[in-house]
Each structure stands twice: as C-alpha cells, then as structure tokens.
Amino acid sequence: MFFAASIFLISYALIMSEKVPHTIAAMVGGILMVIFGVLDQDKAIHYIDFDTIGLLCGMMIIVLVLKKTGLFQYLAIKSVKLSKGNPTWILVSLAVFTAVMSALLDNVTTVLIVAPITLAIADTLSISPIPFLVSEILFSNIGGTATLIGDPPNILIGNSSHLSFMSFITHNLPILLVIGVLTLIFLRFYYRKQLTIPVDKEKLIEGFDESKSIKNYKHLIICLIVVLLTFTGFILHSRFDLKLATIALFGGFTLLMITKTHPEEILKDIEWGTVFFFVGLFVLAGGLEATGLIEIVAKKMVLATNSIKTMSFAVLWGSAIASSIVDNIPFTATMIHVINSIDKMGIYNVQPLWWSLSLGACLGGNATIVGAAANVIVSSYAKANNQNIGFLNYMKVAVPVTIVAISLSMGYILLVDL
Amino acid sequence: MIVKDVYLRDVTSVSLNSNIKSVIKLFNLTRYYALPITNVDNEYIGCIDISDIIDSCVPKYMKDLSSSAFLPDVDMFYNRLNNVKDMLVKDLIKDDYPTLREEDSVSYAADLLEKFNRRTLPVLDGKKLLGILTRLEIISVLIKKESI
C-alpha cells in the first residue's frame, strides 16, 4: 500500500507541477506500479479502460478527416455572418458555434479551429479579439459538458458509470443553457466598451466568403453522411447494446475507407500523448484501487458527509475547485474509482454523484487559465499572435462565471437528482 | 562536381543595421532571393531571405486556417509590409541559415537547398564570404557542360 500511494502521489505531483510532460509522468508512474508488484501486467492491462481509449481514437480520426474538408471553417464564418457585423452578435455566434462544436467534438480541437478564425475576423474588423477568445474558452467548457463525448471527464464518467449518451444530453443540457445565457449577458456587460466596430468596417463582414473554405463538396457530403450515422449510433447505442468506442472507431475507419485517405496520413496526427496519458492514469488509479486505498477514502467520505446530498455537494464543489487549479482528467480518473467504491457499499444511489462530478469537473475548468487544456491553448495561441489575455484579467471574468455556474448546478442537482 | 565549380563570386551583402526597404531595393537590383549579411570587417553573420520578409507580413493565425481564401481583400499584407519596411535586418535575421564551403559537393548543396527550402546559400571560407550558390547555378551546369 505504501508503494502504491507513494507512486500515485509522486506521479500526480509531477503532472500538476508540469516539470515533466504529463504523459511521461502518468506512464512512468503506471509502469512503476507493475515493477514494484502493486499490479501484475495482466491486471494493469485489465485496468485500462479501452472503451475510453477507443472512443478517443475514433473521435480523433473522425475530426481529423472532417477538418480537411474545411467544414468547420465554413460553419464558423457562416455563423459569424449572421451577426451582420454587430460585435455583440459576433460574440454570441462565435460562443454558440464553440459550444455546439465542443459538445460534438473535443474542446481542444474546437478552440484550435475557432481561435485562428476569431483572430482573422478581429484583425479584419480592427477590433480586440480578447472578449471573443475569453468567451470561446468559457463556452468550449460549457458546451463540452453537454455530451458524453464533449469533455474528457465526461468520457471517463460515461464509460465507468454506464450512463448513456442521451442521458448526458437530457440531464446536463437544460442547466447548461441557463448557464450559457447568463454567461453571455455577463460577457456583453463586462466587455461593453470593447464590443464596438469602426463604422467603415461593419460592412466588411459581408465580404467573408465561406464557400471558399470548402475544397471538395462531394467529399464533404460523404463525410457528413458517415458522421451523421455515427452520431445516430451514439444516440441509439444503449438500444443495440453497442459501446461508444465501437461506433466511433467504425465511423472513423469507414471515413478513411470511403474518402480513400491513406491511414498513415491521419493516424500520425492522432494525439498519442493524450492516449498514453489516459493509459498511464488508468493504471495509476487501478494500482491505488487494488491496494484498497480507494475503498478507505470512499468509506471516509461516506462517514464524513452522512448523506447523499452533502456528499453530492462536496463532490461538485470539490471537483470544481480541484479542476480550476489542476488538470481535471487525473482528478476525475481517481474520483470514478471512489464513486464506484461507494456504489459497491450499496448505501446510496450514486447517480447524483456522477452528475456532480461531471458538472463540477467540466465547469470548474473554466475558473482559471490553467483549468483546462482548451484554456491553455487559447491563451498561448493569443500570446503567439501578440494578444495577451492575462492570468488575472481572465480570472476577473471567469471566476464569477464559474461560481454562478457551480451554484446553479448545485440547485439543479438538488432539484432533479436528490 | 563541387560547389567551387559552380558558385557565383558575388559578395554583395547587407549589414545588420540596413533597413528592410533598402534590402528590398537590393533584391530588385540583384534578382537574388537571399542576401548575405556581413559586419564591418566583411565577416559573414547570416542571411536575409525574401521569404523571411514575406513571412513577417503574414500573421500566424493565417497559417493555421485551413484556407485564408475566405478573407476579404483589405490590403492586410501591404499594410503589414508598410510596418516592416522601417525594421532593421537584425530584427528578422534567422540564426539557422545553412551555409556551404567551396569543397562541398553539389549534391550536398542541392540537398541543403531542398531541406531548408531556400533558393540561395552563402559560400564561406571560415567567416569570409566568398559568394553565393543559387538553385539556378546548380541546374545551369547542364547547359554549360553541353556548350563546352
């Protein structure tokens, strides 16, 4: 138990300190669990959640193929043109675009698509891109919370809790719509002075030609049909007793086959660092569970909180605070074992705990610029383009938004789940 | 065949404090795509390439768009070039510019031009600038051989 706890804590400290790339810290920690005999190799492999890995890889392939069609750029420009050059509506359209894309794809891919477009629009219209970039960070995390595939914590929770794809949408979407509308009203008020366009530039938005983004319409239509079928599969997966990983991988490789794309061309761009990070985390958390430490923590939590209501709120706020400071993926990977352990005790129905973890870990990531991968990517991308969001300036906007979002989630869980 | 057999013995160069506008004028005059940079003792310091100037006028975000064709023409490039024109060579210099020696093979020179995606390479003897080798010189050997 001593070895397992030490390896786990040192690995997590290294992941948080960012002194070592997180993939290396997680993988070395996971392998040390085997070397020191905490787990044998078979058990270590048993702890790797291949549903999550398969879903991640399948979605990455789909996104990589789709990205090449220019569709995302087309949709982003189309939605911005609906604003008719009004900066408030540009903010709204980019935020909605980011939220929808984040719900359907992963947050990092979404912000990597939307951030360059935002900078191009701001540069052309001679306005500051900061309000738009900040709103995109916030809405990538809000949108990602809405679906099982939208944010890594949800992927982990979905695969461990056996909650269906649709249950994430039906449970999380109503409260996220409320949070989204309030966030937009707050952003409009907060950035009111920056949301103005020089009169002579307003008409320029009409000059954006989204049709030039699409390179091959036939290719695009084929891709869209496959993607539509994949998402239909996601919605119906529980009815056909199919895992999401099976559907995502089938969709991804069918796309490669139909578009006659050489697999090497796409597979080399899969974020292998992220995939191995998950593998390492699964083994690390598995090692801790195998020694019985997770069970001890779960029992202590049950004793300390006394009721499912208190425990849900503790999980919600605890995961929100933890996610705002450190990476929410390792935190969620560990908490999943704790919740499963509480479930095994048979005292409570743990469903409210899953939703608390989902809302807390995903929305908590909004609070600081280091809270989620999308935040870090947008802020460093802005810096590379001579725009500084600033750690404290970001927090001035994001902390109130996050506190309101978590408070509303608390009321929502109380109302719906408890 | 080695570099010595084909390179141009032209030591036209600019200094670190030359401004970009004067460098563009020199590019026009020589029709080269890169010019060596030397100090007061005529020692080689680096090279300035036309692509480095163009690169500084194209914002990073544009390179990350799947296509920038959708943007309306608002003369963004020329506005940026206008801002760059008064900058100095030392602001745009890249320290990884490849160089050649006279005794290097032409095959190596061709490979270097391709690997670094350059059109012109300086030829040096230690720090002394001897001349330049362009893509045109390398392939023109064929014509020169036939005429002999």
- For chain B, list the domains and their CATH numbers: 3-147 (3.10.580.10)
Shortest Cα distance, chain A CAs vs residue B73, angstroms: 8
> Is B71 in CB contact (< 8 Å) with chain A?
yes
Residue A19 DSSP class:
S
Residue B90: other Cβ atoms inside 10 A: 14
pLDDT at B146 (0 to 100): 65
Cα–Cα distance measured from residue B116 to residue B108, given in angstroms and rounded to the nearest whole number: 12
Shortest Cα distance, chain A CAs vs residue B66, angstroms: 6
Residue among A67, A119, A208 whose CB faces B66 most closely: A67
Q: What are the backbone dihedrals phi and psi of residue B44, each rounded to the nearest 5 degrees, phi first?
A: -70, 135
> Is A119 in CB contact (< 8 Å) with chain B?
yes
Shortest Cα distance, chain A CAs vs residue B79, angstroms: 12
pLDDT at A399 (0 to 100): 96
- Cβ-contact B8, B131 below 8 angstroms: yes
> Is B67 in CB contact (< 8 Å) with chain A?
yes
Q: What is the pTM of this model?
A: 0.84
State yes or no: pLDDT of A385 exceeds 60.
yes
> Is A346 in CB contact (< 8 Å) with chain B?
no
Find, among A340, A335, A295, the residue nearest to A318 by Cα. Answer: A335
> Which residues are registered as beta bridge partners of B47?
B36
Higher pLDDT, A177 or A303: A177
State yes or no: pLDDT of A303 exceeds 90.
no
Average pLDDT for A87-114: 91
Average pLDDT for A248-268: 92
ipTM over 0.90: no
> Chain B residue closest to A213 (CA)?
B67
CB contact under 8 A, B61 and A124: no
CB contact under 8 A, B61 and A112: no
Is the CA virtual torsion B45, B48, B49, B53 positive or negative?
positive
> Is A212 in CB contact (< 8 Å) with chain B?
yes
> Is A48 in CB contact (< 8 Å) with chain B?
no
Tokens of A187: 């952003």
**A91-95, A290-294, A306-310, A375-379, range with the lowest pLDDT:** A290-294
Cα–Cα distance measured from residue A23 to residue A26, given in angstroms and rounded to the nearest whole number: 5
Residue A62 lies in a domain: no
Task: Mark out the alpha helices in A84-128 (DSSP H runs).
Answer: 87-104, 107-125
Report the phi/psi class of residue B126: left, alpha or beta, with left for phi > 0 and alpha for psi in -120 to 50.
Answer: left
Question: Which residue, among B57, B64, B73, would best test binding to A if mutated, counting the most A CBs under 10 Å from its CB?
Answer: B64
Cα–Cα distance measured from residue B109 to residue B114, given in angstroms and rounded to the nearest whole number: 9
CB contact under 8 A, A213 and B76: no
CB contact under 8 A, A210 and B60: no
Cα–Cα distance measured from residue B45 to residue B53, given in angstroms and rounded to the nearest whole number: 18
> Is A78 in CB contact (< 8 Å) with chain B?
no
Higher pLDDT, A185 or A300: A185
Residue among B59, B65, B72 whose CB faces A385 most closely: B59
Residue A27 lies in a domain: no
Q: What domain range is A199 assigned to?
A: 71-213+271-416
Side chain identity at B78, as an amino acid letter?
Y
Size of interface A-B (CB pairs under 8 A): 56
Residue B144: other Cβ atoms inside 10 A: 11
Residue A144 lies in a domain: yes
> Which residues are registered as beta bridge partners of B125?
B128
Q: Is A149 exposed, middle or buried (0-12, 13-18, 19+ CB in 10 A)?
A: buried
Average pLDDT for A372-378: 88
Residue A389 lies in a domain: yes
> Which residues are registered as beta bridge partners of B35?
B48
Side chain identity at B41, as an amino acid letter?
D
Cα–Cα distance measured from residue A176 to residue A401, given in angstroms and rounded to the nearest whole number: 12
What total of structural domains would you count in chain A?
Answer: 1
Residue A222 lies in a domain: no
Q: Got the DSSP string for chain B?
A: -BHHHH-B-----B-TT-BHHHHHHHHHHH--SEEEEE-TT-BEEEEEEHHHHHHHHS-HHHHHSS--TTS----HHHHHHHHHTTSBHHHH--TT---EETTSBHHHHHHHHHHTT-SEEEEEETTEEEEEEEHHHHHHHHHHHHH-
Shortest Cα distance, chain A CAs vs residue B57, angstroms: 12
Q: Whole-angstrom distance between the N-terminal and C-terminal Cα of chain B?
A: 16
Q: Is A166 exposed, middle or buried (0-12, 13-18, 19+ CB in 10 A)?
A: middle
pLDDT at B118 (0 to 100): 92
Residue A235 lies in a domain: no
Residue A254 lies in a domain: no
CB contact under 8 A, A120 and B65: yes
State yes or no: pLDDT of B147 exceeds 70.
no
Is the CA virtual torsion A138, A145, A340, A310 positive or negative?
positive
- Cβ-contact B15, B137 below 8 angstroms: no
Residues on chain B touching A210 (C-beta within 8 angstroms): 70
**A64-73, A98-107, A296-305, range with the lowest pLDDT:** A296-305
Q: What are the backbone dihedrals phi and psi of residue A73, each rounded to the nearest 5 degrees, phi first?
A: -65, -40
Higher pLDDT, A305 or A321: A321
CB contact under 8 A, B72 and A204: yes
pLDDT at A215 (0 to 100): 80
